[in-house]
Each structure stands twice: as C-alpha cells, then as structure tokens.
Structure 1
C-alpha cells in the first residue's frame, strides 16, 4: 500500500458521503431549474462572480464596468489563481473557460472535503507523547468526527456554491491542507499552500496568519492550546531540530508571498501604490468597517413585522457562529485553527457590503463545524444518519431555490 492509499482509504467514507450530498444538490437543482425553464449549467458557470473569473481567464485584467452612480467595478478585485486554472483547463482540454472553472471547483471541492477530514481527524484523534489520548472525546473518535465534519460542510445551506465556478472550494482546499501541514510540522508544504491560498481570495490572509502562528509557536517550543500535544503528530519521525527550523523559516517566508504579490501588483498597475487594491474594493463599495454597516443592515430589518423575522434570524445566525467559535476554544482546538477561523469570521461579518454573501464568505471557516461534528459522532450512527440526511435534503432544496432566485452576488 502506497503512502497515499492508506489516508485515502481512511477518508473514503467522508469523500463518498460528500459526493452523494453534492450529487443530490445538483440533481435537485437540475429538476428545479428545468421546471422554471432555466439552465442549471448556466446558473453554475455563467452568473455573478463566475462571469468575472471567466472574463479574467479569457481577456486578462483591465475589464471594468462603470455604473450610473459613479461606482467602478473592476476585475482587479478578483484574485488570479482560479482564472489561471480556468485558462489551463481550456488550453489542455476542449472545455470552455467557464466549464474549466466548473471542473476546477468540482475537483477542488473533493480536495477540500479530504482536507477537512484530515484536519478534524488529526485534531480529535491526536495523541500525546506517551500515547494517551490528548483529550477524552467520549465516543467521538478522530475518523468519525472527520466524516461528520465533511458531511456538515457539504450540507451547509449555501453548499451549492461548492459546485459552482466560484473560488470558495479552491480556497477551502488550499486552506485545509495548509492548516493540516502546519499542524503536522510540514512547513514547506504549509507555506506553499498558504501562498496559493493568498492568490485565490483576499481572505488568504487568514491562512497566512495561521501558518505564522503555528511557526512562531514551533520556534518557541510551546505547545498548542489543545492539551500538551505538539503540533508535530509523531515526534519520532520529525526532522532534526536544525532542519525543522530552517524549513519552518522558509515556509513562513513563502506563506505571505501570494497575497502580498498580487496586492502590490494591483497597486503598481493602478498607480496608487500598496493601497491600490483597497481603492479597487472601494469601487465595489466593499471594505472593512468593523461590522458597523452590517449592524445597520440588521437594525433596518426591524422597521416592519415581516422583515423583523429576518432580522431575528440574522441575529440568531451571528450568535450561532460566535457560540460555535467559543465552543471550539473550550474544546481546545489548536491555536492555528482558532486564528484561521477567527480571521475568516471577522472578515466575513465585518465587511461593509454584500450582506447577502456573508453565509458564502463564512463557508471556508470549516473548524466552526467541528463541535457539531463531535456531537453527531457521539450519537448512534442511525440517529446521526437521519439528521444528516434530513439536513441534506433541506440544503438541496434551499440551494435550488436560492440559485434560481437572487443567488449569490
């Protein structure tokens, strides 16, 4: 058995379950779209952000739309890795740019599912130096928790985005495997994947921050917040301290190069210096205001009774996100995961625009699902299967309804 076969066999139930959930979502979308006289393929490949990525792949950067109110929507707002991969798929196959993006997203979603499984299994199945469990999880074995973490990610209400020609799946795959590499002491891999994540979405900064925190803790010889176990899963197979330190240092240097390189290039291209990318985002009326605009958006919902229900739902949703994060802290999730999740969540909730996109922007914050996955892992398999199955059906129906309506901006 090769080095890859054993981990793949362990992840197989999670990957098969993930594929089944996503297939259900696509079937429901196809049926729903056909009933409304729409093309499911068009909804997945040629609307909203998918169009902007395709234009970058086809025409390069420089395309912009000037709105009547004076706003300028520039395609410089979209990071380049997905368009590069779309262009590559188009060059080596008969796929169009849009279909290339769809293929990348579908493959990346499976890679993301595997990465989420690997991180969850490592965190909830890790052992300390003496071979004892780092924390008594009361029936939630690492593999079992990993499977449910993947299934929960698949059945998110906006999980249909994982099957669109968007960058969420690609980013989550790179983030999950970068985090796993950092947690297991594979510093060059962690830094390289963080670099690529930084070329995928602005929130790549969260991956960079997590890798840097993991590296600093390793340099200091400290332990993670989760008990006394080292970040390196098996210290007997870890490289010598000197080799580990230079690999760690090189990984930390690599990590920010993707995001920093693109932001600096945009600044040079626009002639506005290092802050040029912020001006591009301002043209989309997007920025970081600490959540003030989102708070006003929620408050405005209470001006009438029907919209007040939506306001209550938003408050409950934000409260659930914060509660899950705090539970992760109490459960002792490793510091890199807490940093990563915190940055992703803060950037999603505190952005000053596109309030309907916040559930989608929170999708990469997969460690938020770990406490729920642990709870499901403690149930009997039959009960947890009914729960996941019911939510999967609801998610598929909601995804089809959502994508045939307003959908993700």
Structure 2
C-alpha cells in the first residue's frame, strides 16, 4: 500500500483543489460544535470559580490586565504611559493596533463597552480560529484529525484566554487562515492575512516567515511538480499538498507569490517603524518600549534562570521538574511534526512561535499564553487521536476539556494572565 492508498491521503488530494464556503462550513461543523462545547464548558468553570471566590467573571474577561490597555487604546488612541515606582515605564505602544481598531468599530455600532466589544471580537475570532485550525489539519491529515485539532486547541490548559478580550484568538484565526491560504496556493490572500496578523501581535512575523517559507519552497518545487506530469493524478495531487501547492492555481504565476511575500511582513514592520518614528528612536523605538515592560529576547536565558532558581526548595524543585517536563513535551511535539512530514510553513510557524515564547525574557506566567497560537504543535496529537478508537478519543478529549475548564477558572480568578 502506498501513501496514496491511505485514508488520509485520498481526501487530502481532492481538497487541494478547494471547495465552496458553504460546503467547507458543513464539513467543519463537527469541529466548530466540539470547540464551542469545550469553550462553553470553560466559561461554566470560570463562573463556578468566580462564584466561589466572589469575583465578577465578566470583569475578569473584559477589564483586567491587557484587556484594559486594549480598551483604553480603542477609546483614546495611543499615548498613555505609566511610570512605576521601580523605574519601569509601561507605554501602550507595546500593544499592536488591530484589536483596538475592531473594538472601536464594534462599540461604535452597538451598546457594548470597549471591553465588551473586545470580548465579542475574541469570541467570534475564536470560532474563526477553530475553523482555520480544522481546515489546515483536514487538508493535511484528514477530517477526523481536523476535528480533534480544533477541540484540542480549545482544551489547552490556558484555553480560557481564547474567551477573553485579548488578541490570542484574533491572531490565531489570521495565522491559521493565512497558513491554509499558503497550503492551497492563494498567495495574495496569505500575504494579506499575514499582514493583518502582524498588526495584531509582534509574533506576526512568524506568520510572515511561514508565508515566505511556503512561497520559496513552492517556487523551487513547482519544477519537480511539473516533472510529475506523467505520474498518476493522485500522486501529483499528494505531492502538491506536501509541497504547499494548489495545482488548480499553478497558472497564478510568480507575481502572486511575490505579492504575497511583499504583503506578509508589512503589518508588523509597519507598526514597529511607526512606533520608532513616534518615539524618535527609529528602528529601536519598539524595543525600547518593550524594555520598559521588561520584555525582550534573550534566547531563553531568563527563563532558564527562573527554572534554576526554583530548585532552592523542595516544592520549587517539583515545580521546576514539571516545567522541564513541559518544555520537553513541547520539544517532542516539534520533532513529531518534523517526523510526520508536516508542510514546511506549519513547521516554520510552530517553531518560531515556540522560540519567541520561550526565548522572551518576559514574565514566566505569560509563556503558556504566548504558546496558544502555536497550533501546529497539536497536529501530531490530533493525528494520533484520529487513529484511536472513537470511544477512547472522545474520552480523552472530554477529560482534556474538563481539566481545562477547572484549571482555566482557577487560573483566571487567581493570578491570571498578564
């Protein structure tokens, strides 16, 4: 039996040609229903913990931590700065503008506050993200794996952040659909979505890099795809999926790839340059703003020191061992994606998001949240779950969802993000 004869390969070959939106939505319906159920369970868990601790769950979702900064930008624009007693300077320029723009737009046409508008944007974006994750996984591993991937993303331990007035859901939706556009050869759309992702979070550069990786790989591989003209249609289609090509769009030519590559980094680069001009610090202006928040990139040195310091006591040592195990698990998932021969754009995106999360010198508590957009790491697990017996798959996904609801409610009513 060849790769073409496997159940996952046959539908993947056909889906490379694309389907209508209505058909795609019907195909994604189980994934969206499963994801919505997981997130609803998470909100119920939050409500239970909030009642037990006498806190307002809506305030925790819309008016705490970063959500306050986004709402303030939506209301008044940029220019707010807080100087802390220790000398740190927290400027709102650290926050990228797309979510506040959307909050302002929604608040302008509805009775919602800016924070509530941000929550609505996040809830809609989370469904779009789940659909995009399903679409990417369905294309690569098949429909059942796609459903599992969407549900697993919603059941992350910090999945509650997907239901907050934060930018994770919006960014993941843009990233997932940009990657889907790359895998189906829609280069201009891929670049435009990557541009929007770059206006959402600084890690948008990871999406741009994935677009570039896919474009360069397809430019090189379309020659070998052309050489496969004499091969059976199924083999040629499977080659296209693995190479990140949509054979129905081969005629688009190099210009569409070049346009997608041009558009992809403009969002993040444009905002960083604008901040540099506004602060008068040029290319380093945004880095100075981040430094005021004690954020930077040191390749993981600060994180390693944090973990090492935990071993000063027995309880801390146990926590340190758990963190090391967690990092090892993430590394294993990255390698599993390589062994599974996931398309290059997915590997690039997952690797760079992970690198920027662990390599940042920011507060450790934010690192699990920074990993939320790294959904390609879930694909090997989703593939394994899809191959398991349905009853076992349902039980494991249900257990993950329940654990996420309990932990998410406890986390958000306690220390919570920043």
Q: What band does the TM-score fall into relative to the shorter chain? A: over 0.9
Gaps of 5+ in 1: 125-141
Is 1:260 the equivalent of 2:269?
yes
How far the C-alpha of 1:3 sits from its partner, in A, is 1.8
Which of the numbers 216, 219, 229 marks the counterpart of 2:240? 229
Cα distance in structure 2, aligned partners of 1:11 and 1:103: 21
* Contact kept in structure 2, 1:191 and 1:251, CA below 8 Å: yes
SS in 2 for 1:282: helix
Cα distance in structure 1, aligned partners of 2:349 and 2:238: 19
User: How is 1:57-68 mapped onto 2 (pairs within 5 angstroms)?
Assistant: 57-68=74-85
Which of the numbers 367, 375, 389 marks the counterpart of 1:358? 367
Write out per-residue CA displacement over residues 122-150 of structure 1, whole angstroms, 9 at most, x where no aligned residue: 111xxxxxxxxxxxxxxxxx000000001
Bigger drift between 12-21 and 35-44 goes to 35-44
How far the C-alpha of 1:31 sits from its partner, in A, is 2.1
Is 1:44 the equivalent of 2:33?
no
Q: Which residue of 1 aligns with 2:178?
A: 178
Is 1:395 the equivalent of 2:404?
yes
How far the C-alpha of 1:220 sits from its partner, in A, is 2.0
Cα distance in structure 2, aligned partners of 1:62 and 1:238: 45
SS in 1 for 2:240: coil
Which of the numbers 4, 15, 19 marks the counterpart of 2:36? 19
Is 1:383 the equivalent of 2:392?
yes
* Contact kept in structure 2, 1:232 and 1:238, CA below 8 Å: no
Question: Could you say which structure has the higher helix fraction?
Answer: 2
Which of the numbers 76, 85, 100 marks the counterpart of 2:117? 100
Cα distance in structure 2, aligned partners of 1:232 and 1:391: 31
Which of the numbers 115, 129, 139 marks the counterpart of 1:122? 139
SS in 1 for 2:310: helix
SS in 2 for 1:238: helix
Q: Which residue of 1 aligns with 2:47?
A: 30
Cα distance in structure 2, aligned partners of 1:395 and 1:275: 39
Cα distance in structure 1, aligned partners of 2:250 and 2:306: 52
Cα distance in structure 2, aligned partners of 1:232 and 1:33: 45
SS in 2 for 1:47: coil
How far the C-alpha of 1:247 sits from its partner, in A, is 1.0
Cα distance in structure 2, aligned partners of 1:300 and 1:32: 31
TM-score, length-normalised on structure 2?
0.90
* Contact kept in structure 2, 1:178 and 1:193, CA below 8 Å: yes
Q: Which residue of 2 aligns with 1:81?
A: 98
Write out per-residue CA displacement over residues 153-181 of structure 1, whole angstroms, 9 at most, x where no aligned residue: 01100000000000000000000000000
CA RMSD of aligned residues (A): 1.5
Write out per-residue CA displacement over residues 4-62 of structure 1, whole angstroms, 9 at most, x where no aligned residue: 11100110000000000100110121122122211110000000010110111011101
SS in 1 for 2:348: helix
* Contact kept in structure 1, 2:185 and 2:246, CA below 8 Å: no
Cα distance in structure 1, aligned partners of 2:115 and 2:339: 43
Cα distance in structure 2, aligned partners of 1:233 and 1:353: 38
TM-score, length-normalised on structure 1?
0.92
User: How is 1:334-345 mapped onto 2 (pairs within 5 angstroms)?
Assistant: 334-345=343-354
SS in 2 for 1:200: coil
How far the C-alpha of 1:356 sits from its partner, in A, is 0.8
Cα distance in structure 2, aligned partners of 1:374 and 1:392: 18
Cα distance in structure 2, aligned partners of 1:221 and 1:380: 37
Write out per-residue CA displacement over residues 56-85 of structure 1, whole angstroms, 9 at most, x where no aligned residue: 101110101101111100000000000000
Cα distance in structure 1, aligned partners of 2:143 and 2:221: 28
SS in 1 for 2:20: coil
Cα distance in structure 2, aligned partners of 1:156 and 1:34: 23
How far the C-alpha of 1:244 sits from its partner, in A, is 2.4
Which of the numbers 249, 264, 269 marks the counterpart of 1:238? 249
Cα distance in structure 2, aligned partners of 1:34 and 1:349: 34
How far the C-alpha of 1:253 sits from its partner, in A, is 0.7
Cα distance in structure 1, aligned partners of 2:338 and 2:238: 12
Which of the numbers 120, 124, 129 marks the counterpart of 1:112? 129
Cα distance in structure 2, aligned partners of 1:264 and 1:54: 23
Aligned length: 387
How far the C-alpha of 1:221 sits from its partner, in A, is 2.9
